[in-house]
Amino acid sequence: MFVDEAKIYVKAGNGGNGCVAFRREKYVPRGGPSGGDGGNGGSVHLEANPNDNTLLRYRYNREFRADRGRHGEGSNCTGHSGEDLILQVPVGTLALDDQTGETIADLATPGQRVLIVNGGRGGRGNQHFAKPWHQAPREHEDGFPGEERHLRLELKLLADVGLVGFPNAGKSTLISVISAARPKIANYPFTTLEPNLGVVNADGGTGKEGREIGRTFVVADLPGLIEGAHQGAGLGIRFLRHVERTRLLVHLVDTSDANADDPVHSFEVINDELAAFSESLTQKPMIVVATKLDATTDRSRLEALGAHCKQHGLEFHSISAVAGEGVKELVRSIADALDKIPRGTPDSADEDDSLAKAVEVNPSARHSVENPNS
């Protein structure tokens, strides 16, 4: 089950109380105060785990508490500090304060760890209150409470390319041909109910030990949009957050004879829905792809869509994913376009590897496009 939103409560451990004790030892008649300090409470951290791709573990278990600090003891013994609690989340998770909406952390790099709530400090024992004029203090400090927060976790999948379009535009078929992803494909709308990721090898080369070499990129297949999606129609636009991190959009438009809608109008409708969700999506580079070429006998609508894209300076391709026509050319054009687009996080030098690691739970997920019908 794919879960991309969760609400949880986190509580850091309280600090232990300081101790009131006096040294009682033979031949030491005036040992003085010897109360130890309380231990610090454990903190709660979030850590980006490249082997996770869903927030399912936080769907039903919503409360997490770190260990508290132990109380101080005599003989100036400090109590044990509580162990920190580390919560594993998928790479690309956004942590927000559920009450204020403040963004606390954006875990976009594998292994990145962020402190969410700090453990309470342990209280001081009576040894700290000894003064020349007050040599037998019975004062001590209680431990300080740990911080607590209500969090909202949102997962934004890390992908280079996002596939968008109407339902049944051919997005799932395309990703199943160019990668090892196997989404559900059927001849009815809204077959795809959750995003799917696939790793694509654009050059199709293999090196030693059968490892693929060349340019690779990650593609995200999103559930189809319809007119009025920003108002909740169909599946709405809740999945569009997963293309906010992408560098390139590939807009698929069905131009087959079976589709009675005007392709140019369909193209503009989806663009309007993208703009209604976020203006930043309209600024992303886009490649327009006419699909189901094998089922298109009336080429006038195809040519009209191509002319519309040329007028707006958009790259245009026509393919048949089932027959493999134009697929390899499209994949290489996508790779060429990605080579010209800088990554959005310049501070992450090794993000090339992190993107692939974030989705390659199964190492066999890589798939060459040299044989599109395999």
Query: Which pLDDT does position 299 carry in this prediction?
Result: 85
- Residue type (1 letter), 71: H
- Asked if 78 and 187 sit in the same domain, the reply is no
Domain boundaries, position 357: 161-368
Q: Which residues pair with 354 in a beta bridge?
A: none
pTM for the model stands at 0.71
Would you put residue 75 in left (φ > 0), alpha (ψ -120 to 50) or beta?
left
* 144 located within any domain: yes
**Residues 59-84 pLDDT 10s:** 889 999 999 999 999 989 999 999 99
- Asked if 136 and 257 sit in the same domain, the reply is no
* 373 located within any domain: no
Query: Which pLDDT does position 44 carry in this prediction?
Result: 96
Domain CATH for 358: 3.40.50.300
What is the domain count for the chain? 2
CB 43 within 8 A of CB 12: yes
- Asked if 193 and 113 sit in the same domain, the reply is no
- Asked if 132 and 180 sit in the same domain, the reply is no
Could you tell me where the DSSP H helices lie in 210-297?
263-277, 279-282
Could you give the CA distance from residue 255 to residue 293 in angstroms, rounded to a whole number? 7
* 134 located within any domain: yes
Could you give the CA distance from residue 294 to residue 112 in angstroms, rounded to a whole number? 46
- Asked if 88 and 173 sit in the same domain, the reply is no
Domain boundary among 132, 155, 178: 155
What stretches in the chain show pLDDT beneath 70?
1, 183-193, 204-214, 228-238, 344-374
* 259 located within any domain: yes
pLDDT above 70 as % of the chain: 82
Find tokens 């997962």 and name the residue: 155
User: What letter does residue 181 receive in the DSSP assignment?
Assistant: -
Could you give the CA distance from residue 211 to residue 217 in angstroms, rounded to a whole number? 15
Query: Which pLDDT does position 26 carry in this prediction?
Result: 82
Is residue 144 classed as helix, strand or coil in its secondary structure? coil
Query: Which pLDDT does position 352 carry in this prediction?
Result: 40
- Asked if 59 and 143 sit in the same domain, the reply is yes
- Asked if 174 and 270 sit in the same domain, the reply is yes
Query: Which pLDDT does position 209 carry in this prediction?
Result: 53
